[in-house]
Amino acid sequence: MRSDVLIIGAGGAGLVAAINAHESGAKVRIITKEYPTRSQTSMAQGGINAALGNASVDSIEAHVQNTLKSAHGLANEEMVRFMCEQAPVAVNWLDSIGVCFSRTKDAKIAQRTLGGASAPRACYAQDYTGLKILHTLYDRVLACGIEILSERYLLNFITNTDEYNKPYACGATVLNIRTGEVESYESASVIVATGGYSRIYDKHSTNAVGTTGDGIAAAIRAGARLSDMEFIQFHPTALKNSSILISESARGAGGHLLNSKGERFTNELAPRDEVARAIHNEIEKGEDIFLDIRHLGETFIDEELPQERKLAKLYENVDPVYDLIPVKPVAHYTMGGIEVDANSQTKLRGLFAVGECANHRVHGANRLGGNSLLELVVFGKQAGESAAEYAKKFTKSIDITLQTKSANNFITGVKYFTNQIDFYQKREFIGNIFYNNAGISRDEMGLKAVLGAIRQIQKEIPFMGPKDKSKVYNTNLVEFIEFGNMVELCEIILVCAISRNESRGAHFRADIPQENDMAYKAHTITWKEDSVLCADFME
């Protein structure tokens, strides 16, 4: 049965969009490749920014200015202002539906300082902020009676063309992981909320294994444009061996970064791009890097950072109450994504985007901690309402025949790929060369070498394929398609990074370390024409 609004992805952004589309009167269907509470949002620890001034004096203007500064000229001030103004409304709404925020002694929502913020602005729930927000949203979605279809993996968006030969989105083809069958869902509008692409860095990423940019790759294939794909945030403090995130709130609370000599070497509360580079430089000098929170004391650590203590013990065999925590910077958040307008609509009519997969131009070249949970609530509402509004006026016909057939051909055909090359090896290889050459510090030679390798891998894909040929619950097949999506995005990231001959925020070119506003204070826009990648800088 057709829905008014089809939402792909059931993380925070997708669920907020679903609730708002539902409240706008639309019939909503959510599709997720996992289950709704298993998304990346569950891993957000630090908090959600809003200038409430509960912990000390703060203002919306300060929030705007901090965000713009960190964005290095690539954020849109109007969008940032809208987000920061809506922030208290967003937190108030989360509080009203039951999110268990930590509280101050005078019964207000507690706030703490994250990097790049001039005041304690991040509202939090211990270090389980994302988890508690996500689960409360899920409970809300249940209360609304919204349909959720789990374990369906997005293949492509369905597009039709109108009488002027202009395309519009009207559904999606998905692989039902449980049955192995292709399913097609018709919808008047579609919202993509599938998350970022940090897993390209494979084991050098804090992200969940499903963060493979599926929705972004499908969007550019369907005719949407992407922007600023070269901007990838490295979180300064992940556990050294496992890349498990240690929240920025550990530094916000007074944690120190130390090198092997036990010396501090940077301002721990600078924005993430600066801190990550400072650590990277120390590592290049042969230093090991540690996070030291021992002086915060056991009581504080157990109260504010319980998850960090548990994870450090499990993965590094260290107890942060008594020991230094070995850390390194790894890929954490992708600022780039699907280009959207002021209503969260993409260049493809009827396709809306929100959350990490979208680029609302609020993070620019470097996101501030605490702004990603905020973004998904503020723009999730906007996307949900816009998509519902669009659906109300939608009168066009929907024909899914062609795309259903092509999806079926693909799923049948992919199992006949020859399997002479192991894609898991290539996935690991890409993670390594991206981390080393397209990571915290880049240069033209390295980026071009990686692009050469990626183009080679693109040619080799028909010689890869799933080893597992079974129909039911074939995760090997899903991982292979995810791999294909990542390879598609790899090329785009590299083309953007090579074109941007300057350093800005998270994009640091060791060969050109200066910002160049004259030439590059613009967005890197990419799109496809007849499957050929095109790129340009645009305002």
Q: Which residues are catalytic?
A: 235, 251
Residue 325, amino acid: I
To the nearest whole angstrom, how small is the minimum distance from the Cβ of residue 516 to another protein?
38
To the nearest whole angstrom, how small is the minimum distance from the Cβ of residue 251 to another protein?
18
Candidates 120, 475, 187, 111; CA nearest to 352 is 187
Residue 460 or residue 468: which is nearer to another protein going by CB?
468
Which structure tokens are listed for 38?
């298993």
Residue 475 or residue 501: which is nearer to another protein going by CB?
475
Residue 42 or residue 160: which is nearer to another protein going by CB?
42
Cβ neighbours for 515, distance < 8 A, ≥ 6 positions apart: 72, 73, 502, 503, 504
Which structure tokens are listed for 473?
């619950």
Q: Given its phi and psi angles, is residue 90 left (phi above 0), alpha (psi -120 to 50 degrees) or beta?
A: alpha
Distance of CA 509 to CAs 68, 200, 371, 395, 495, Å?
A: 21, 19, 25, 49, 14
To the nearest whole angstrom, how small is the minimum distance from the Cβ of residue 207 to another protein?
8
Candidates 496, 153, 146, 169; CA nearest to 334 is 496
Tally of CB atoms within 10 A around 60 = 17
Provide DSSP, 100-144: ---B-TTSSB-EE--TT-SS--EE-STT-HHHHHHHHHHHHHHHH
CA gap 100, 104 in Å, rounded: 13
Distance of CA 413 to CAs 404, 428, 520, Å?
A: 14, 25, 43
Residue 292 bridge partners (DSSP): 256
Residue 455 or residue 467: which is nearer to another protein going by CB?
467
Cβ neighbours for 70, distance < 8 A, ≥ 6 positions apart: 116, 271, 363, 364, 366, 367, 368, 505
To the nearest whole angstrom, how small is the minimum distance from the Cβ of residue 38 to another protein?
4
Per-residue exposure over 235-266, b if at least 16 CB sit within 10 Å of its own CB, e if not: bbbbbbeebbbbbbbbbbbebbbbbeeeeebb
Cβ neighbours for 410, distance < 8 A, ≥ 6 positions apart: 155
CA gap 119, 201 in Å, rounded: 32
To the nearest whole angstrom, how small is the minimum distance from the Cβ of residue 439 to another protein?
20
CA gap 117, 68 in Å, rounded: 11
To the nearest whole angstrom, how small is the minimum distance from the Cβ of residue 260 to another protein?
23
* Residue pair 218/174 in contact by the 8 Å Cβ criterion: no
Residue 241, amino acid: N
Binding site for another protein (CB under 8 A): 34-35, 37-40, 42-43, 92-93, 95-98, 100-105, 107-108, 125-126, 128, 131-132, 135-136, 139-140, 142-143, 150, 178, 208-210, 242, 244-245, 307, 310-311, 314-315, 317, 424, 428, 466-468, 470, 472-476
Interhelix angle 129-144/12-23, nearest 10 degrees: 30
Residue 70 or residue 136: which is nearer to another protein going by CB?
136
Residue 204's Cβ-count burial label (10 Å; 0-12, 13-18, 19+) is buried
To the nearest whole angstrom, how small is the minimum distance from the Cβ of residue 30 to another protein?
13
Which structure tokens are listed for 212?
């493979």
To the nearest whole angstrom, how small is the minimum distance from the Cβ of residue 42 to another protein?
5
Residue 205 or residue 366: which is nearer to another protein going by CB?
205
CA gap 262, 537 in Å, rounded: 44
Which structure tokens are listed for 193?
């909320």
To the nearest whole angstrom, how small is the minimum distance from the Cβ of residue 162 to another protein?
38
To the nearest whole angstrom, how small is the minimum distance from the Cβ of residue 318 to another protein?
13
